[in-house]
Chain A
Amino acid sequence: MSFDFDAGKYAAYLWPAFAISALAFAWMIASSLLMARRWRREAERLQAELEATQP
């Protein structure tokens, strides 16, 4: 199997399409994981605080 990375005159269109898609996925993955981590930690912190204040 051989790969063709020489896009010739289409390079100006091909590589931006792949780069923008890769960046979009990287952003979606990072923002989703960070959002989940932030709210999980916040819920755990508040849960611990509530348990500490209850007799």
Chain B
Amino acid sequence: MDARHTFDFLTNPERFMAFSRWAAPLLGALSAVAAVVGLVLTFAAPEDALHGDGVRIMFIHIPAASLCLFIYLCLGVASFLSLVFRQALADLAAQACAPIGAIYTALALITGSLWGRPAWGTWWVWDARLTSVLVLLLFYLGYMALRGALEDEQKAARAAAILALVGLINLPIVKFSVEWWNTLHQGSSTFMAAKGDGLPAIYAWPAVLMGLSYLGAFGALWLVRIRALVWRRKARSLSMKLAEGAR
């Protein structure tokens, strides 16, 4: 196989449709298996000495919080490919992942708040981590609002892509906010955790399994939504052909 065509399934709509037809259900099934195992481990894990049963919220909060950053990175890369290389499929990919990212971010904020009330004694504080994640949610919502606000789809795609690229600046701010500022939110206990701050294995495994489940769910939902947008574009093109034929 010619190496130049290895990634054609990511740029050629027909090949993408053939690839996603089996990849979406496969990712969905793997995600469901990881969710079942993750939930079993979640409710089999012992209570935490300090946070009691509240620790189980961590196993759905950490995946949502990690994935909302990863999804925004996907949105940024797809927007870059759409803006610079005029890849139509990349534009659809960006458009498809924004609502999923917004919901993951909202879940990170809501589950974080439900963790914060018993752990910190407050639902919300304007500290750097919480505020920067709220800003991330506003970037997602702004992206979707901008796409919906402009009637010219090409102009809307271009403006939204620029906004998405600007929002990339927020990703390192979210990630390193707990190190750069004095925050109520704890430092990382997963990726790049300081020595001694990492989760013990009994809590790390449920978090990892639920993380894989959230990742697989994102992959499956993303592919399904891109497929929907490819069909929508095809339907619009057919509709125009029919209208021209009727003249």
Contacts and interface: CB of A to CB of B under 8 A. Distances in A.
Interface in B23-69: 40, 43-47, 52-54, 56-57, 60-61, 64
Contacts of B47: 4
Which bucket holds chain B's interface residue count? 35 or more
Interface secondary structure of B, over-half rule: helix
B236 to A, nearest CB: 9
B225 A10 contact: no
A40 B242 contact: no
A21 B225 CA distance: 20
Given A16-B114, A36-B224, A43-B231, A24 B103 contact: yes
B114 A32 contact: no
Contacts of B118: 9-10, 13
Interface in B93-131: 99-100, 103, 106-107, 110-111, 114-115, 117-118
Interface in A24-46: 24-25, 27-29, 32-33, 35-36, 38-40, 42-43, 46
B235 A46 contact: yes
Interface string B205-247: 0000000000001000100110111011011001101100100
Given A9-B52, A17-B57, A28-B100, A33 B43 contact: no
B53 to A, nearest CB: 4
Contacts of B117: 13
Interface secondary structure of A, over-half rule: helix
Given A32-B221, A43-B231, A17 B111 contact: yes
A25 B60 contact: no
A40 B54 CA distance: 44
Interface of A: 1-11, 13-14, 16-18, 20-21, 24-25, 27-29, 32-33, 35-36, 38-40, 42-43, 46-47, 49-50, 53-54
User: Which 7 residue pairs spanning A and B have beta carbons closest together?
Assistant: A39-B231, A46-B238, A36-B228, A7-B53, A10-B53, A10-B54, A43-B235
Interface of B: 40, 43-47, 52-54, 56-57, 60-61, 64, 99-100, 103, 106-107, 110-111, 114-115, 117-118, 217, 221, 224-225, 227-229, 231-232, 234-235, 238-239, 241-242, 245
